[in-house]
Chains A and B, each alone.
With several copies, the nearest count.
Chain A
Amino acid sequence: MTAEHLYRTVRLIRRFEERAMDFVRSGEIVGGIHPYVGQEAIAAGVCAALRPDDVITSTHRGHGHVLAKGVDPARMLAELMGRENGLNRGRGGSMHAADFGLGILGANAIVGAAGSIATGAAWAYQRQGKDVVAVSFFGDGAMNEGMLLEAFNLAVLWRVPVVFVCENNGYATTMPVRSAVAGSITGRARAFGMPAFTVDGQDPEKVLAATTAAVSRARSGRGPTFLECTTYRFDAHHTFEHRARLNYRSTEELSTGRSRDPVEIQGERLAADVRAAVDAEIEALLDAAAGVALGGAHPDPAAALEFLYASPEVNR
């Protein structure tokens, strides 16, 4: 059942992203996306270890995280298309997907920003007597943002129930991690007094196991854990790369990187007929989602500034 669940999630994310890229090409999605293709096992494994009331923060490359946390693909797709029935009512788009009802405190377009937000939220839930755990996703590039390192310090000092999940896909846009991170990623985390582990980020079950341990540690009041999930980005940094080819990854590297495909790794654990049934189910789900999204109303430009303030004092 877990195997199937994990497969369903990685497959859903993969096909969601592929369809989303088609919609980018056809112009239905404006502004492009940062595809999560290749990294699906991380979102799937991490979120499978969470309770519904646990919370996450996500990144610019966030579709996988929110889908794995249970977001309705139709509402996510509608958001990417800027529709009123989107997650954020079309106000957020790809980089800001949020669903507070599902504990998704938002994707963040600023690299390294969300770690301290997740830390604050987790601390606040704890102070309110809730045994909620927060997970913050970020990339290898974020490890060089001082604000994220500051967050590690606060989380450890105050024993905050947060799990830091670093998706090391080898690059920050075009910058190789080896030219960008002095020392090692886990060593950097460990220096703040956190346990830190490197996990095979292509295998959803390994990610699930590592996260389960980290979450239980957090939930029992023993503080934060850091997981470096090694992975590979199969596609572009952002779909703009489909037009402007940037020269930073060799063909050999790409094919080696793509050879460990999380969808295949998890798919092989299912019987062929079960797998086929899941695949078919997902296609149907995504067909329906596309229909719902494409049918969503465009928000009214007159309401462009709705939600700008939560308190009404400001009259413009």
Chain B
Amino acid sequence: MPKLSYLKALNRALGDELAADESVFVLGEDVRVAASNLTAGLFDRFGPERVLDTPLSEQAFTNFATGAALAGLRPVIEFQIPSLLFLVFEQIANQAHKFSLMTGGQCQVPVTYVVPGSGSRTGWAGQHSDHPYSLFAHVGVKTVVPSSPADAYGLLLSAIRDNDPVVLFAPAGALGIRDDVDYASLQPVPLGVGRIVREGADVTVVALGHLVQDALAAADELAGQGISVEVFDPRTVYPLDVDGLAASVARTRRLVVIDDSNRTSGFGAEVLAVAAERFDLDAPPRRVTRPDGAVLPFAPALDRAVQPGRDHLLAAIHGVLEGKR
């Protein structure tokens, strides 16, 4: 089977949707020459009306996409860096997200926002290393963080086809993942449905995006110690697959979440809140996150120190296994 990289999978999904649906178009900065490779080859295939290079006017082009969506198109916006989503937070959370309800259902805003390279990219420092998926989940914008090439393909397809705004974060740490993939088997992955990436009996580890790799590595390591870890990838941050998670935890009765957002009121907080409300656990659950208020320092070792990593995860799993109620 051929190898498919995560980034190439996104590129392929975009190309397939552009080919399949006339109403889809892409816009963003440097999408014509495909500086990030997300749009590689697409300008030549689809031309300037379907692959639109924008000036540095994020607020206007985000609302422009909303307007185009109101007029029947399905825009896909590429944002070069995650903090650009801060710059257009009003345009997504207060405009695109709200049109359907505010108009009493007269319209829909099917825009997809893609950040290829979210989270830390070593050396990009404080203003380019954010991972703000929890913010979008909080305001109720559908939010997706794929962890594998096949999921990247399938979730981007579903995001584009969805009739609401959807933000897709493609973590920098995942872009290079390559899997053996049967191209014919690529298909849409529904939003809001998680996946058990690895079965296990002793503890459920919830992980998203590039952190699924860390969770799997931790599971491998712990398997050697006779500890059986189940890895659950919700794939969508919002809506969260609570039932899928509940089913896993019902078996393992222990829970750790690893989350590349800040601790306070992040995705990890939501998982633990659901656990507090709904799950019967044998030990208090734990979250492994960025620290509160984290600003990623430039020096690589400091940058790494602020990110949740495998060691923190191993410690948390051990803690939960030792923990008693």
Chain A residues near B (Cβ < 8 Å): 29-32, 55, 79, 82-83, 86-96, 98-100, 105-106, 108-125, 127-128, 141-142, 144-147, 150-151, 153-154, 157, 172-175, 179-181, 244, 246-248, 298-299, 301-311, 313-316
Q: How many A-B residue pairs have CB under 8 A?
A: 290
Closest to A97 in B: B103
A118 to B67, alpha carbons, bound, how many Å? 6
Q: Which B residues between 113 and 163 are near A, CB-CB below 8 angstroms?
A: 121-128, 140, 142, 162-163
Residues of chain A lying within 8 A (CB to CB) of residue B83: 110
Closest Cβ of chain B to A112, distance in Å, is 7
Report yes or no: B68 in contact with A124, Cβ–Cβ below 8 A: yes
Decide yes or no whether B72 CB sits under 8 A from chain A: yes
Contact residues in A for B35 (Cβ distance below 8 Å)? 173-174, 244, 246
B55 near A181 with CB under 8 A, answer yes
Q: Which residues of chain B are within 8 angstroms of A118 by Cβ–Cβ distance?
A: 67
Complex: A305 Cα to B100 Cα, angstroms: 10
| A108-B95, A313-B239 known, 18 other contacts, Cβ within 8 Å | A31-B125, A92-B298, A94-B298, A96-B298, A98-B106, A106-B107, A110-B95, A113-B91, A120-B66, A127-B25, A128-B71, A141-B55, A146-B60, A153-B60, A246-B30, A305-B294, A309-B100, A309-B163
B247 located at the interface, meaning its Cβ lies under 8 Å from any Cβ of chain A in the complex: no
Q: Is the CB of A116 within 8 A of B60?
A: yes
Q: What are the interface flags for B286-297 relative to A under an 8 Å C-beta threshold, 1 for contact and 0 otherwise?
A: 000001111101
**Residues of B contacting A246 with CB < 8 Å?**
30, 33-35
Q: Which partner residue on chain A sits nearest B128 by CB separation? A: A109
- The reply to whether A313 and B123 form a contact with Cβ atoms under 8 Å apart is no
Asked if A124 meets B73 with Cβ closer than 8 Å, knowing A91-B302, A309-B164, the reply is yes
B101: contacting residue among A31, A181, A308, CB under 8 A: A308
List the B side residues contacting A174 at CB < 8 Å. 30, 32-33, 35, 53
Q: List 8 A-B pairs, Cβ < 8 Å.
A: A29-B123, A108-B127, A120-B63, A146-B60, A147-B63, A151-B64, A298-B299, A314-B293
Contacts of A147 in B (CB 8 A): 59-60, 63, 91
B279 within 8 A of partner (CB)? no
CB under 8 Å from chain A, chain B span 74-117: 75, 83, 87, 90-91, 94-95, 99-110
Chain B residues near A307 (CB-CB < 8 A): 100-101, 103-105
Which B residues are CB-close (under 8 A) to A105?
Answer: 67, 70, 107
Q: Residue B49 at the A interface, CB < 8 A? A: yes
Q: Is B107 a contact of A83 with CB atoms below 8 Å? A: no
Query: In chain A, what residue has the closest Cβ to B95?
Result: A113
Contact B127 A82 (CB under 8 A): no
Residue ID in chain B nearest A314 by CB atoms = B239
Q: Inside 8 A of A116's CB, which chain B residues have their CB? A: 59-64, 66-67
How far is B34's CA from A303's CA once the two chains are assembled, in angstroms? 38
Asked if residues B60 and A154 are in contact (CB atoms below 8 Å), the reply is: yes
Bound state CA distance, A88 and B164, in angstroms?
18
Residue in B104, B105, B291, B293 whose Cβ sees the most chain A Cβ within 10 Å: B104
User: Which residues of B are found within 8 Å of A128, using beta-carbon distances?
Assistant: 71-73
Q: A117-B70, A150-B59, A173-B35 are in contact. Are A305 and B291 (CB under 8 A)?
A: yes
Q: Is the CB of A124 within 8 A of B72?
A: yes
A311 touches B60 (CB 8 A): no
Closest B residue, CB atoms, query A158: B52
Q: Which residues of A contact B140 (CB under 8 A)?
A: 308
In the complex, the chain A residue whose C-beta lies closest to that of B50 is A127
Chain B residue, CB-CB nearest to A303: B302
Given A91-B102, A180-B55, A154:B163 Cβ within 8 A: no
Chain B nearest CB, measured from A223 CB (Å): 15
